[in-house]
Every structure is written in C-alpha cells, then in structure tokens.
Amino acid sequence: MPVEVTPPSRRTVLACAGLGIAATTLTACSAYDDQPQPESAAPSDGGAPAALAATADVPVGSGVILDDVVLTQPTAGVFKGFSKRCPHAGCSVSEITDGNIVCPCHGSRFDLDGAVVNGPAASALSPKAVTVQGDSIVEG
C-alpha cells in the first residue's frame, strides 16, 4: 500500500528556518561569552591600578599623550588627565606645543586644563580622573 507524503507547508518551512537562525545566534552568543574579556585598568584582585605614567615623565607646563589619555602638569605637582578625542569631530589630539594640546585635523588647540584656546572645537577636552600614587599617575 503506497504511503502518501505531503510536502511541508510554507509556514512550517519558515518556522523551522527561524528556529535554525535563533539556534545559530544563541550558539554564536554563547561562544562570544567564552572569549576572554579585555583587562581594565583596575585589577580584579583589589590591588593598585596600573600606572599610566611616572610623574617625572610629565613635564611641568606641558604634558604627554599616551595611547588613550592626555596627561598634563599645568603647574608643578598638579596633574590632569583628558580624553585624546577632540570634541570637534573626534580626531585624536596629536601633540603638545607651547603649552597647547593640538588637534591635527582642523587645528583646534586646548590649554593644559583642557579648555578651548582655538576652535573650531566649541567645548573642552573631556576630563579623565587621574591621581598620583607615589611616583606614578594612575587612573581614578
């Protein structure tokens, strides 16, 4: 006796495809969760945060530009931190010249306190909290 097989309906096919996509997404998400997470500046063991720079490396009346932070020392013993991101259009500031932090893209200049000296930037560099611990400058 022949068995009659009916093809699946369009709705059934779409529902199965949706379940397949959901399963793939869940698998991808759980695989991402297994990846090692980037380390933050603050260690998870409760120890001291990593030094951004030695205080001796930041000249008085000037500063240094690091990977993602600008450190300045406007007056002896006063250290400040700023985002490297220029508030005008997001370029990274690139140098500190004549007491000004300079953005190479459109020429904005900021003083060592992050305030705008010359536009087109209309607002100051974003501050980043830094503190001195011993001979080091640390985030926070």
117 is a site residue for ligand FES (CB under 6 A): no
DSSP-based three-state secondary structure for 25: helix
Q: Which is nearer to ligand FES, 42 or 105 (CB)?
A: 105
DSSP-based helix, strand, coil % in the chain, nearest 5:
20, 30, 50
Q: Give least dist CB 74 to ligand FES, A.
A: 21
130 is a site residue for ligand FES (CB under 6 A): no
Question: Distances in Å between the alpha carbon of 111 and those of 13, 73, 135?
Answer: 64, 11, 24
Among 53, 58, 86, 130, binds ligand FES (CB under 6 A): 86
103 is a site residue for ligand FES (CB under 6 A): yes
Q: Which is nearer to ligand FES, 63 or 138 (CB)?
A: 63
Alpha carbon 96 to its chain's center = 21
121 is a site residue for ligand FES (CB under 6 A): yes
**Beta-bridge partners for 127:** 82
Pick the piece of the chain touching ligand FES (CB under 6 A) from 6-14, 62-70, 83-91, 127-135. 83-91
Compute the distance between CA of residue 119 and CA of residue 78 in angstroms, rounded to an integer. Answer: 26
DSSP-based three-state secondary structure for 77: coil
85 is a site residue for ligand FES (CB under 6 A): no
Among 105, 116, 117, 124, binds ligand FES (CB under 6 A): 105
Alpha carbon 15 to its chain's center = 41
Which residues contribute to the site for ligand FES (CB under 6 A)?
A: 86, 88-91, 103, 105-108, 120-121
